[in-house]
């Protein structure tokens, strides 16, 4: 089975800190995605990547950046964490061939910014 692993299940950070959320997938998927999940808003796309060194803005990229130096790893970076970035963050991946069968998700990182 494809596995998408997010390094932290819970994270507490202070306002202004630089925060790294890590995601690793083990099935050689080309496409990777970062979403945030908030009550009443569902999942919203932050950034995505179709290949190494490639990144595209999603619907809510402000305050975030990403890095994809290796195919299996996609990092979400909060340059200066703010309280309104307190949320659940979900990483997902999908292969280039078969992307239309849906995503495989990690189990999420619940980030609290205090």
Partner 1 sequence: AQTVTQSQPEMSVQEAETVTLSCTYDTSENNYYLFWYKQPPSRQMILVIRQEAYKQQNATENRFSVNFQKAAKSFSLKISDSQLGDTAMYFCAFLNAGGTSYGKLTFGQGTILTVHP
List residues near partner 1 by CB under 8 A: 31, 33, 35, 40-45, 48, 50, 58, 88, 90, 92, 94, 99-103, 105, 107-108
d(CA 23, CA 5): 6
112 sits in the region (left: phi over 0; alpha: psi -120 to 50; else beta) called: beta
What's the closest the beta carbon of residue 47 comes to partner 1, in angstroms?
Answer: 11
What's the closest the beta carbon of residue 102 comes to partner 1, in angstroms?
Answer: 5
What's the closest the beta carbon of residue 9 comes to partner 1, in angstroms?
Answer: 8
Tokens of 96: 């280039």
Nearer to partner 1, 18 or 27 (CB): 27
d(CA 106, CA 76): 14
């Amino acid at each position: 089975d494809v596995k998408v692993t997010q390094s932290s299940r819970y994270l507490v950070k202070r306002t202004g800190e630089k925060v790294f959320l890590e995601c690793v997938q083990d099935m050689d998927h080309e496409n990777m995605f970062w979403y945030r999940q908030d009550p009443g808003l569902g999942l919203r796309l932050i950034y995505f990547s179709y290949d190494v060194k490639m990144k595209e803005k999603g619907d809510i990229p402000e305050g975030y950046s990403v890095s994809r130096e290796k195919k299996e790893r996609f990092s979400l970076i909060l340059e200066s964490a703010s309280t309104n970035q307190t949320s659940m963050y979900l990483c997902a991946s999908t292969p280039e061939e078969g992307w239309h069968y849906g995503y495989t998700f990690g189990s999420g990182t619940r980030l609290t910014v205090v």
